[in-house]
Amino acid sequence: MDVPSEYRASKTSQKRRPKGSKGQQQQPNPVAATPQYYNDFSASNSAQFMPNLGQPDMFYGGQGFNTSGYGGQMAGVPQFPGQQLLNDPVANMAMQYGHTLAGQGKDLVQKNIESYVASSKLKYYFAVDTAYVGKKLGLLFFPYTHTDWSIHYNQDEPVAPRYEINAPDLYIPVMAFVTYILVAGMVLGTQGRFTPEQLGTQASSALVWIIIEMVAFTLSLYILNLSTNLKYLDIIAFCGYKFVGMNCSLLAGVASNTTVYYGVLLWFCISLVFFLMRALKVQVMPQQDNEGFVKGGAKRSLYLILSVSLTQPLLMWWLTSYVMIFKATQP
């Protein structure tokens, strides 16, 4: 029989309970209930720590929520040391300004160092090879047959030492200086006088004399008003060649006796004076101008070259005599 629609029972979404579960009590699902508790807890926490941005609130007597009592931070939010300093805009500006000054100071120091000791300049003085070192040592020991003492240039720049035997280098002087310290320590050890302090004394005294030579040479060029292409690294290179002869004389003295020591020292002193006079003459002596006239200062240049060349044998004897004098007094 057809029942009118208004008398029909409305459909519900509830499912019928199975027949066998009439006497059983349905257990609540803990997983389904958990989000309800979590949402309630989250809502309460967010409401507790949510700042009231100046709006009146019925629970606070019409006053806005003030966070100044917590030092600008929410209650319960952890703070790390220095957080307030980082949040201060004045402190941030000071830190940025300090970093800027430190960077500018670093760049300024690097520019000043590069103007005096540029890496490219040092690379030029150490641009040598085995063939150059062998030829240069032979030239230092026997410079009397060498004829061409001029230095060739490539686009206003001197040719690298490996291609030009007359160019000054720093490889031989530096290696000879280190070898001198070691040889002096060995000689003192054979005499029973070696102490670690002796190595420092020998190294410091030799280094001080090199600096004195460089300063005296530079001041002499300035006082005598001489124009030259020599740089201070060139002066150090020319003054450092004497350590080669000092090493040879010390080794000869240890191997034989003091007579051989003085003989080798005398030979190298004469050779070094000849070498420096011919090499510095090209660098310091005035050259002819375009009209064929010789510039002034020839006598002053000659006096300077003689004084520098004749000073080297005295320093060679002074720096090696202390090491060998004790052996000379032994029977």
Transcribe 34-101 into DSSP letters: HHHHHHHHHHHHHHHH----S---GGGTTPPP--GGGTTS-TT----TTHHHHH-HHHHHHHHHHHHH
Contact status, residue 325 vs residue 184, Cβ threshold 8 Å: no
> Which 3 state secondary structure label does DSSP give 288?
strand
**pLDDT value at 266 more than 90:** yes
Q: Which helix (H) or strand (E) holds 295?
A: none
Structural tokens at position 168: 């000054």
Percent of the chain with pLDDT over 70: 61
Residue with tokens 């917590």, as numbered in its chain: 70
Q: What is the pLDDT of residues 71-102, one digit of tens each?
A: 444 444 455 555 555 566 666 776 777 777 77
User: What's the chain's Rg over C-alpha atoms?
Assistant: 45
What would the mean pLDDT of 269-276 be, rounded to a whole number?
96
Amino acid in position 134: G
pLDDT of residue 79: 52
2 residue type, one letter: D
C-alpha to C-alpha distance for 277 and 114, rounded to whole angstroms: 31
| Poorest-pLDDT segment among 92-101, 221-230, 275-284, 310-319 | 92-101
Q: Which of 35-44, 120-129, 143-152 has the lowest mean pLDDT?
A: 35-44
pTM score, two decimals?
A: 0.64
The more confident residue out of 11 and 200 is 200
pLDDT in tens, 26-72: 555 544 444 444 444 444 444 444 555 444 444 444 444 444 444 44
Please choose, from the candidates 246, 305, 315, 314, the residue with its C-alpha nearest in 3D space to the C-alpha of residue 278. 305
> What's 4's DSSP letter?
P
